[in-house]
Amino acid sequence: MLLGFYKNVNRHFSMRQLPFIVVLAAVILVGCGGGSGGVGDPAPPNPGTGGGTGGDGTGGNPSVVFPKVISASPQGDTPAAVDTPIDITFNKPMMLSSFQAPMEGLDVGYDPACVDTDCVTVRLNHKTNLAYNSTYQVKLLPQVRDKEGNLLTDPYPWSFKTAVFAPPPSFKSGIMLDGGTVATDSGECTAIAVDSAGTLHIAYFSDSAGAPKHAYCSKDCDKPGSWNNEVIDTTAKLTDQKFGRDINLAIEGTTLHVSYRDVGTTSTGNKADDRGVLKYAKGVAKADGSVGTWAPVIVDDTPFGVTDTYIAVDKGRVHISYAKKGDPKATGQTSLDIFTYATCSASCDSKNSGDIEKVEIDQGKGAGSPNHIVIANDTIHMSYYLNGTLKYVTCSVSQAQNCSQLSGAAAAVVDDGEGKFDVGTENSLSIFGNTVHMTYRDNTNGLLKYARCDGNCTDSNNWTKIAIDNAGGSTQIVAVPGRLHVSYRDDLNKDLKYATCSSSSSNCLDPKSWSLFTLDAPGEVGLDTYIAVDGAGAVHISYRDASNKALKYIVGAPTQ
């Protein structure tokens, strides 16, 4: 534009008038302005007085104000909780989408969010917890931008500390009961219950023993020295054969009933095979809690094995639910798993498998892996997984010997994942009054979910469900007067967790009505968790510590 003006002037004026032209050009240069306005753009009508649209020597265009960090938290020596998010406050609104790169010194991923409407403060919600009792030296690199696209000019380093783990005040610290080394590896598939004398019993699988075991304690059970253990099934086997996984426990009075999977080769008096056979054992607890002599029998020697055994007892009658596996080499119907129910009378510890009533309930991919069975109000209740769906069936105890209506056709669909998600594994069931409560895992999204039905529960429309926590596995629920108790594993952080809800003040269908606690960390703990509540309201939880290859136990008396 300036060049064109000079050419026109040259046509009409002599060189003697050139000084005037130069002066005029200088005036035009000042008037054009610089910065982002572009050549020839007019100056803003109301120039500011610095830091804004004028008065900064740039011809009235906005000055570039680069983003910088004003503060960050947590910061300093005060220990922060491991789930505390990181908040970073800037001098101006930030572009949230630019917070994507990993932060130097932060060993976990994060999801950014704006704390305020202008996004001056950005919150980094880490996807997993930070490490306990650690010092973090972190640095925000100049890779983030403000809303105008300007980069952070300088890195911002700072440090903070995290707290030492401690269980909530209402719980004692978890204690190791068995195992602790590779040579003594124990604690898989735990199940805990309290007998009528108040003695605690835990059934579990010991890898080092290669057999199911029983731990028991009659007093001072928060102290490791108060516990003893014994082997449940000592059936002769080769040194490399192990059995007793998928073990479960039910107690009536002081009589213990155990179901489990036997995996071994055929031996005298035992039809076990390498695919797994369903076994049952019964024993009466002595004053100290020990049983001594157990009486194992075979319940189902199906050709392709069993998994996921669960047991309930009512008036001496034994009820077992389990998954019968399909032929892994076949296609079509014979390849599908079968959710199965077995029952026998009080003398079933002396019966052969042919004398035990068995009903095949439902068939499909993963049928009954896992499941749960409860007897309440003279009614059998069962939850089970089938091909990505959580289902529920029920029938009267009086029809237990021939519960033919227990079929997939009569089952309610509790949660089908809206046809998009795989749900229902690690399900657990509890009954109080006429209300059925379930916890289970949303496998696709990793959620701990809770489902509830207050009547006519074979109608799928009568079930309501919510998510309790964003990470939940190995769940178990117990309903007692006025309160729900749930033990579970936080699969993201590998911790043992506990959730509770006061059912007297809420129906527990609002996620905010649940209180969540971490009971044991760090390490890989909380596997194979099981929960029991005694008559005084104390909560007892058994679980596996995979880091230490041990069976662990924790007790508490929560009030929230």
Using alpha carbons, select from 473, 469, 464 the residue that is nearest to residue 436: 464
> What pLDDT does 38 receive?
40
Hey, what are 320's tokens? Answer: 């077992």
Pair of tokens at residue 45: 């009508």
Predicted pLDDT at 50: 39
Round to whole Å and give the CA distance between 479 and 508: 12
The pLDDT, as a whole number, for residue 102 is 86
pLDDT digits (tens, 9 = 90+) for 49-66: 334 433 333 344 468 999
Residue written as tokens 């079968």? Answer: 338
Residues contacting residue 148 through CB under 8 Å, at least 6 positions apart: none
Query: Given this model, what pLDDT does residue 273 score?
Result: 52
The residues near 178 (Cβ < 8 Å, ≥ 6 apart) are: 184, 186, 187, 204, 206, 213, 215, 229, 550, 551
pLDDT at 114: 98
Angle at which helices 18-32 and 2-12 cross, to 10° = 160
Residue ranges of the chain with per-residue pLDDT less than 70:
1-62, 236-241, 264-275, 346-347, 351-354, 399-402, 404-405, 505, 560
Distance, CA of 548 to chain centre: 21
Helix (H) or strand (E) holding 24: helix 18-32
pLDDT at 397: 85
Q: What is the pLDDT of residue 2?
A: 35
Number of helices and strands (H, E) in the chain? 2, 35
Give the per-residue pLDDT at 351: 67
Q: 120 and 93 in contact (C-beta within 8 Å)?
A: yes
Q: Walk across the sheet containing 371-376 and list its strands.
A: 371-376, 379-386, 389-396, 412-415
CA distance 436 to 379: 12
Q: CA-CA-CA-CA torsion for 163, 167, 168, 174, nearest 10 degrees?
A: 180
- Residue 345 has, within 13 A of its CA and on its CB side, a CA count of 4
Residue 35, pLDDT score:
38
How much is the pTM? 0.84
